[in-house]
Structure 1
Amino acid sequence: MKWFKRIVIALFSLALLAIGAIAGAYFYVLPDLPDVNTLKTVKLQTPLRIYSDDGKLISQFGEKRRIPVSFQDVPPTLIDAVLDTEDARFFEHHGIDPIGITRAAIILLTTGKKSQGASTITQQVARGFFLSREKTYIRKIKEIFLAIKIEKALSKEQILELYLNRSFLGNRAYGIGAAAQVYYGKTLDELTLPEMAMIAGLPQAPSAANPIRNPSRATNRRNWVLSRMLEKKNITQTQYEEALQAPVSARYHGAEITLYAPYISEMARDYLVDKLGEEEAYTGGYNIYTSIDSKLQKDAQQALRNNVYSYDERHGYRGATDVLWTDTPLETSSLMTRLKQTKAFQGLVPAAVISIDDQNATLFTSAGETLQVEWQGLKWARKFITNKRQGKAPKTAAEILTVGEQVWLRNNGDFWQLSQIPIVSSAIVSLDPQNGAIQALVGGFSFHTSQYNRVTQAKRQLGSNIKPFIYTAAIEKGYTLSTLINNAPINNADTRQGTAWRPKNSPDRYTGPTRLRMGLAQSINVMSVRTMRYTGLNMAIDTLVKFGFERDDIPRNESIALGSNSVTPLQVVTAFSTFANGGYKVEPYFVERIEDSYGTVIETSNPTLACTPTLPTPTEKNDDPFAAMAEEFRQAEQISDVPACGGPEARYAKQVISEQTAFLVTEALKSVIWGGGNWSKGTGWNGTAWRAARVVKRRDIAGKTGTTNESRDTWFSGFNPKLATTVWVGFDDHSKELGRTSWNANGAKDQISAAEAGAKTAGPGWNEFMKNALAGTAQIPSTPPEGIVSVRIDLATGKLSRKTDYTSSFEYFVSGTEPKEFATEAIESNDIFIDDSAEELFQ
């Protein structure tokens, strides 16, 4: 009994000492223990994601890849795999596992090594959020107390959800959602049993034992996880044996980008960084939904790429990128190695010429394919000499290629052809003219080689794209579409530029008095200058500013009539939208909404609408404060009656020109595409953009070409009521000319040749995009607004006509501005056309 008492006393004393030690340790670390309640509102570092308007992932920014998942969305089998591996008694203990601690202590006492941490999942959460990974006793004590406090503050499901979302699982993947994407390109519910076991085995050695870096070690770890699941009876023997035989299928999957649109994603990234700061933007888990339409974006990218290739190839072949051998061919393995040093680029594939026949060649690609390139894919490649000169059309493949050369190939959709990296630049932007939403934006041929966004950053001379705005000012001052303007050389030069500036037509032809509609449709230079002289320089500049062009970018001389001011493509498409929407200057935007990591909308767009405010009925006006605001808005802006829209929260675009003026200019811009006259009677004529009529084949489109001096900048801007688009093509180096091309005997019958210009250089890109963008949509009929009348005029004089033959046609006028005299009654006088002097008319 004496020994028994002594043992009891000793044990009791030890217990007291242990309690005292625990209490002492607790109070010792208490000042350093953080508040675990912060875990209830913890914000996991989640990357910024950018989406199109229809939910396609455009880009992802941030060091850590994480796809947060809720506990309810995790497959039960994956939960079993994690718990069987990491903490089998997770739902039974209260934060610490006494059995595990005892086992770790025994190992420590017998071996002297801290080989087992005995950490529960709760302890790992405590360590991951609040502590370091150093193996010290004080850290372990803090971890234990924190785990106990966490268990009191959070439910088991909440703790496990934190663990599953925060664990580092290799290859920048944090959490099981990201791991499923990175290793298998799947969501959690798509994973197989062996894939779940592989992921469950990663937390202990995410870098050394991941299936991409070390598949053998990862397989052993996976199989051990499967054995634990079998031992705990969470899988059957059959499932276990089948899973053991599964091959390692993991490979690296980047962010699941479903829409490649780097220029718009960079704009969205910049927007959020400016708003929240870099660290918060990249780690806060924000989702930006842009206004981009994924189909239109793809159409724009393809149209730009095809157009740039077309320009580049008609100017000639610049030769091979490298010579891989001259005498002795490289062995296949060496050839593959050399070719793989050059990455594929924008659909271009590096390849080596291994043999040449009369009019075809055999090439070996970096993908290990042997391709036969027929003559149709080679014959375009006459020699490039300069941007203005090309060599003779080749007749054999040997005139183009040499065995041993490294070249580029691309698949144009029909066949493989020889190609090259274009050196010209381009941009395309398309927006909804009714509210300014940017639907598609491509800032250059390749974001990989140049992040310079030409849509928003490049200010280039506008050329003849300026003319619709010059004529707008004239129409608002009193001109009509039938006003005769003298198409004759200008002799009294503008000397405000320091030298005598005498603009000429291109081509250098003059037809005398010509109607305004035809002058705009055929982009007649001297008519534009005379029109600006009618409005006056100040009114012309003020009109340009109303459309959104910056006053500081507009020179104060007559050259602005031909587009000497510098603008961005975004400014241009916004200005042209004004014609499409009835005269309203909408504000372009690209961010539809921003969501935080919890899916809460923290910002949403409030676009400017191209309409008048919705007005209540008279009986409502006394009680509705919005009614008073709307009425004040209508009176202040002097806006006309157009379809009303919006509500109390809406923003309205300013109406900068009347709906009637917008309609008349649009009608003239349709003639740019469709021309006029009667071809069967020999009076037919084309507008500068006649190719658009053949390609797009719609009557509800209007547009304008634009070319600057020496063809340094080329433009095409156009629209229908639902979509406005601008295309620019030029060199980033302002001093370089786009040049000209000679006729290629190997080219198609409808090939483009002679001097580059808006219609031939930028136009084809616009034509292809609008054809595809508007495909399947109904044509929108043109309905004259209130205040527009139509009368039959004589095409030669612009006066009224009693004839109904090809010499006359109906024309639109603002009511009250239509001609009052008939052509047969006309007395020739200076008021039937605008001229600098009477003598100049027939010179």
Structure 2
Amino acid sequence: MTFLGVATIGITYVVLKDDLPDVATLKDVRLQTPMQVFTADGELISQFGEQRRIPLTLEQMPPLLLEAFLATEDTRFYEHPGIDIIGIIRAASVVATSGELSQGASTITQQLARNFFLSREKKIIRKVKEIFLAIHIEQLLTKQEILELYLNKIELGQRAFGVGAAAQVYFGKSVTELTVDEIAIIAGLPKAPSILNPVRSASNARARRNVVLGRMLDTGAIDQATYENAIAAPVTSRLHGAQITASAPYIAEMVRQQMVDLFGEEVAYADGFKVFTTINSQQQAAAKQALQQNIYDYDERHGYRGPVARAWQAEFVSNDDESPVFNESGRLDDMALTQFLDQQQGIEDLVPAVVLSVAQQSAEVILKGGQTLTLEWDGLKWARNFIADDRQGAAPKSAASILAPGMSILVRQQDNAWRLSQVPLVSSALVALDPQNGAIRSLVGGYSFSQSQFNRVTQAKRQVGSNVKPFIYSAALEQNYTLASIMNDAPIHQWDNNAGIAWRPKNSPAVYDGPIRIREALAKSKNVVSIRLLRGIGVDASIAHLQKFGFAQSDLPRNETLALGSASLTPLEVVTGYAVFANGGHLVQPYVVDKVINAEGKVVYQHQPLLACQACGEQQNPDSSAELTDATVDELTDLNAMATEQYAPQVISAQNAFLIADALKSSVWGGGDWRQGTGWNGTAWQLQSLKRRDIAGKTGTTNDSKDTWFSGFTPQLVVTSWVGFDDANRSLGRALWNANLDRNQSAGTESGARTALPAWLNYMRVVLPAYAEKSLPTPVGISSVRIDQATGLLSRRTDDSSTFEYFKLGTEPTQYVSGSVPQIQFGEEPVEKTEEVEELF
């Protein structure tokens, strides 16, 4: 009989051996592991992949977890040769009596064979193959290797594969942080992960957990006291994502798309790539906070649009209502109220709440989760009625004019206090990059990625308004204009034969200063001066110059509206253009993926950015006649390393870039002498609060305030902020004065300075301290001379009528305001009336 059994097994093996897979592949197995995306400083941004897996070694797993699986799945694991004869006999007897293959009798080794090589179908032939494969595996691998592969491969429900992923998915923990009852829940999952997992069914998970705990008690893995404590523990679980430590979902999606392009979808999602981006986690957090707070500020200026819903309406509920969901106070009872709030959705930092009661200038609310709190008047008084984008109701005088019991609302925390809020309708974008190499340091493509995956930084082409003017002025400098050239700031009236109407572009505000220097016109954002400059340069020449900054010709209208910002560009295109002024004239290419490391720790992709290098030509051609000192040898070694780097093309001269950048500082600091009555402000004067002299920037507002911009920079960081509605035809409007608020907080037309600049300012207020103040270097070929402020001619005077101005060498004025010969001073810094400006602001 024994001989017959052995012969049967031998014959079966001969028949099946050609169909058996090569288990030697287990020696070089590559587990499907999700792609992870990190900031430059190592914070996790996101994880992509169908299978959630966190590969671990046995040493990284707690011993009790191993004992739980062995007690539940294979108590004789270390004794058998891959198959459990006792279990097989038991399963065979069931088949003989019932005709059904219901008993698994699978060892951990057999389960490993099935998971890697076979299906889960309950057929005898599959079981036989499983047995032969298990025996082969035991001959090839050690018990420790088998157990480690099994615990990393096993499916445990909710797309979690392996114990590391299960601990994260169900409990938001690492395996070393699991409690005894949580270990038992995970160890009970292999039998039926889809129906026994605690997210799907707490009762099923509890019953299976108790079985596992009983087996652990029987094998001595735990003692009686531990068993009783674990049995009594409640089953509490919810789905947890990867432990995200840096919020940058728009960046994550950009990375995902690039990785699929580089490696293909199947490889990108499953080969365990670690992608390191250029993002700085602290700067990213500052960008998100600045953008969202700025949106909230805009939203509050324009009024409250009312509650999300109503849990009940107090005026229709009497205290004697027999409905069991209402209590004696006429509101939903606690259970019904909890169920109602559980169904309400928050977004970002907005928390669902229901108003319980209203006092004169406060309201008691209950938050989703059960916490009750009081909304004080400071968190309510902004909420006058929204009527239209340019019209709001009267300032509220009591909480009852805003809220009523039963209202379902949204609240948020600001400055450690709770305030009434609402989901903003307006959109925004903010992007910051390093102008020296194009590395994106932070990027926020909208208020909430969960609300809209549309990335406004890279996808939204919007009219740029006055943000285009520095590029027009840059073109003018190439046509022999200077920052001291005088232009006529006066209204333009031009008849349009095609339209049959007159074109009357206006300044905003409609103030005209008459003859004005180009520096001052740019700082004050004079529309009519930009048009006159465009006419002097020519539309075609202007478009050709703007293309140098990376702007597509198709996005640049071939008419005079170009000077007012009718071109439609993305914030990423705008910030890249401004980087040219910040780095001395080089067009860098923005990028976000720095390097990619595979599962073996090998760098499989390394981005090679184009670098802005102002002095590369001189450094790479040292004087061959110079004495070869140790310092020279070190320098040449550094230059040899530099030779492998690639440099961004110089698209405008260093002199042109320097002059525009310096002129844009006047947007911040203005000019003149306030004590003498000649002082003036630039449109970005609010940035004086940063107390940095290395900041330059430009506001931008389009017709009817449909798009608002602010772009600004230092030599180390360039940032663009945009605010507008996704509906490009909708105006940002204006806010009327709210008597409950400071006039500056509530009243005014939305514009670049009012609407987009605050996000830029609040972002830079956080990140600038990490960058030492650093002025742009004055390039060779720049001179500075004293000029008369009224005429732009040379001046001998040292009073408030004159100032120093920068020029490209050879473009200095040749006439002296009093007829004398000019004295050109090379490399001298312009004198600014710092004291007068700082006294006023």
TM-score under structure 1 length normalisation: 0.88
| Corresponding residue pairs, total | 793
Closer/same/farther in 2, CA of residues 495 and 456 from structure 1, 3 Å limit: farther
**2:316 aligned to which of 323, 327, 330:** 327
Mean alpha-carbon deviation: is it higher for 663-672 or for 398-407?
398-407
Residue 305 of structure 2, aligned match among 310, 318, 323? 318
Q: In the alignment, which residue of structure 1 is the partner of 2:755?
A: 761
1:188 paired residue among 159, 163, 175: 175
2:503 paired with 1:501: yes
CA–CA separation in structure 2 for the residues paired with 1:434 and 1:246: 57
The partner residue of 1:85 within 36, 57, 72 is: 72
Report the 3-state secondary structure (helix = DSSP H, G, I; strand = E; otherwise coil) of the residue aligned with 2:642. coil
* 2:675 is equivalent to residue 674 of structure 1: no
Q: For 1:202-221, what aligned pairs fall within 5 Å after superposition?
A: 202-215=189-202, 218-219=205-206, 221=208
Which residue matches 2:17?
Answer: 30
After superposition, give the CA deviation of every residue in 1:88-115 in whole Å (9 maximum; x if it has no partner): 3333433223344345445666787755
2:522 alignment partner AA: L
Letter aligned with residue 327 of structure 1: F
Partner of 2:107 in structure 1?
A: 120
Shift of 1:655: 0.9
The range that moved more, 361-370 or 106-115, is 106-115
Give the match's secondary structure for 2:196.
Answer: coil
- Cα distance change on mapping 1:496 and 1:814 into 2, 3 Å: farther
Describe the shift of the 1:761–1:644 C-alpha distance in structure 2 as closer, same or farther (beyond 3 A).
farther
- The letter for the 1-side match of 2:669 is W
Aligned counterparts, 1:222-371, within 5 A: 222=209, 224-226=211-213, 228-229=215-216, 232=219, 248=235, 250-323=237-310, 324-325=312-313, 326-328=315-317, 329-332=330-333, 333-371=335-373
Counterpart for residue 651 of structure 1: 646
Flag the 1:322–1:251 CA change in 2: closer, same or farther, 3 A. closer
C-alpha displacement at 1:49, in angstroms? 2.4
CA–CA distance in structure 1, aligned partners of residues 350 and 142 of structure 2: 55
> For residues 391-790 of structure 1, what are the structure 2 equivalents within 5 Å?
391-491=393-493, 500-611=502-613, 612=616, 615=620, 617=622, 647-694=642-689, 696-790=690-784
The partner residue of 1:800 within 777, 789, 794 is 794
On the 8 A contact 1:495/1:501 being kept in 2, the answer is no
1:759-814 Cα offsets, whole Å, 9 max, x none, are 11111111111111213432223432222222222211222222222222222222
After superposing the two structures, state which structure 1 stretch, 790-799 or 315-324, moved more: 315-324
- Higher alpha-carbon deviation: 743-752 or 684-693: 743-752
Q: Is the 8 A contact 2:493 2:502 kept in 1?
A: no
Alignment of 1:106-185 (within 5 A): 114=101, 116-185=103-172
**CA apart distance, 1:579:** 0.9
Q: For 1:142 and 1:331, how far apart are their aligned partners in 2?
A: 61
- Look up the SS of the partner of 1:485 in the other structure: strand
Shift in CA distance, 348/452, structure 1 to aligned 2, threshold 3 Å: same
- Answer whether contact 1:609 1:646 (CA < 8 A) is retained: no
Residues 223 and 389 of structure 1: CA distance in aligned 2, closer, same or farther (over 3 Å): closer
Q: Deviations over 1:463-485 (max 9, x none)?
A: 10000001111112222221212
Deviation, structure 1 residue 315 = 1.4
Deviation at 1:299? 1.0
The whole-number CA distance in structure 2 between the counterparts of 1:146 and 1:303 is 59
CA contact (8 A) 2:738 2:746 kept: no
Which digits, 9 at most, give the CA deviation of each residue in 1:45-85, with x for residues without a partner? Answer: 32232222222222223332111123343333332332333
Counterparts of 2:576 and 2:497, CA distance in 1: 33
Amino acid at match of 1:763: L
Q: Which runs of 5+ in 2 are unaligned?
A: 318-329, 627-635, 822-841
Cα deviation per residue 1:360-390 (whole Å; 9 max; x = unaligned)?
2233333333332222122212222221222
Pairwise CA RMSD of aligned residues? Answer: 2.8
Supply the AA of the counterpart residue of 1:744. N
Task: Give SS of 2:708's match.
Answer: strand
Amino acid at match of 2:684: A
Deviations 1:406-455 (A, max 9, x none): 33222222422222222111111111111111111111112222221111
Cα displacement (A) at 1:215: 4.6
Kindly state the Cα deviation for residue 594 of structure 1 after the two structures are TM-superposed. 2.1
How far 1:28 sits from its partner (Å)? 1.8
- Quick one: structure 1 residues 217 and 353, their matched pair in 2 at CA, closer, same or farther if it must change by over 3 Å? closer
Query: Letter of the aligned partner of 1:778 in structure 2?
Result: A
Q: How much has 1:504 moved relative to structure 2? A: 1.9
The answer to whether the 8 A contact 1:496-1:557 is kept is no
Q: Contact 2:716/2:771 (CA < 8 Å) preserved in 1?
A: no
- Rate the CA distance shift 1:238–1:367 in 2: closer, same or farther, 3 A: closer
Find the counterpart in structure 2 of residue 387 from structure 1. Answer: 389
CA separation of 1:370 and 1:197: change in aligned 2, threshold 3 A: closer
Deviations 1:327-374 (A, max 9, x none): 214323333333333211222223333333322223333333333222
Contact 1:494–1:502 under 8 Å retained in 2:
no
Report the counterpart of residue 74 of structure 1 in structure 2: 61
In 2, distance between residues paired with 1:239 and 1:368?
32
Asked whether the 8 Å contact 1:182–1:253 carries over to 2, the reply is yes
Residues 817-826 or 468-477, more deviating: 817-826
Comparing 278-287 and 492-501, the one that deviates more: 492-501
CA displacement, residues 698-739 of structure 1 (integer Å, 9 cap, x when unaligned): 221111000111111111011111111111111111211111
User: Which AA in structure 1 matches 2:341?
Assistant: L
More moved, 349-358 vs 418-427: 349-358
Query: Once structures 1 and 2 are overlaid, which stretch shifts more, 574-583 or 535-544?
Result: 535-544
State the TM-score, normalizing by the size of structure 2. 0.89
**Residues 494 and 558 of structure 1 are in contact (CA less than 8 Å); yes or no, is this contact kept in structure 2?**
no
| Contact 2:737-2:743 within 8 A present in 1 as well | no
Q: Structure 1 counterpart of 2:735, which letter?
A: T
TM-fit CA distance, 1:619: 6.0
CA contact (8 A) 1:741 1:753 kept: yes
Partner of 2:832: none
Partner of 2:44: 57
SS in 1 for 2:818: helix
SS at 1:528 equivalent = helix
Range with bigger deviation, 148-157 or 665-674: 148-157
> What is the alpha-carbon distance in structure 2 between the residues aligned to residue 220 and residue 317 of structure 1?
50
Cα shift at 1:601: 2.4
> How far has the Cα of 1:219 moved from its partner?
4.7
- Letter of the structure 2 residue corresponding to residue 297 of structure 1: Q
Q: Could you tell me which runs of 5 or more consecutive residues in structure 1 were left unpaired when the two chains were aligned.
A: 1-13, 622-630, 632-642, 828-843
Helix, strand or coil: the match of 1:560? Answer: helix
Per-residue CA deviation, residues 564-621 of structure 1 (Å, 9 max, x unaligned), is 1110010000000111111111001111122333333221211111113762656699
User: Contact 1:752 / 1:760 at 8 angstroms: preserved in 2?
Assistant: no
**Is the 8 Å Cα contact of residues 427 and 729 (structure 1) preserved in structure 2?**
yes
Corresponding residue SS for 1:350: strand
- Closer, same or farther in 2 for the Cα pair 1:91/1:370, shift >3 Å? closer
User: C-alpha distance in 1, partners of 2:212/2:339?
Assistant: 39
Quote the offset at 1:20 in angstroms: 2.1
Q: CA, structure 1 residues 179+793, in 2 after alignment: closer, same or farther (shift >3 Å)?
A: same
- Indicate how the Cα distance of structure 1 residues 150 and 414 shifts in structure 2: closer, same or farther if over 3 A, else same: closer
Read off the aligned partner of 1:703 and give its amino acid letter.
Answer: G
Moved more, 506-515 or 363-372: 363-372
C-alpha spacing 1:385/1:285, structure 2 compared with 1 (3 Å): same
* Deviation, structure 1 residue 284: 3.1
- Deviation for aligned residue 1:271: 1.9
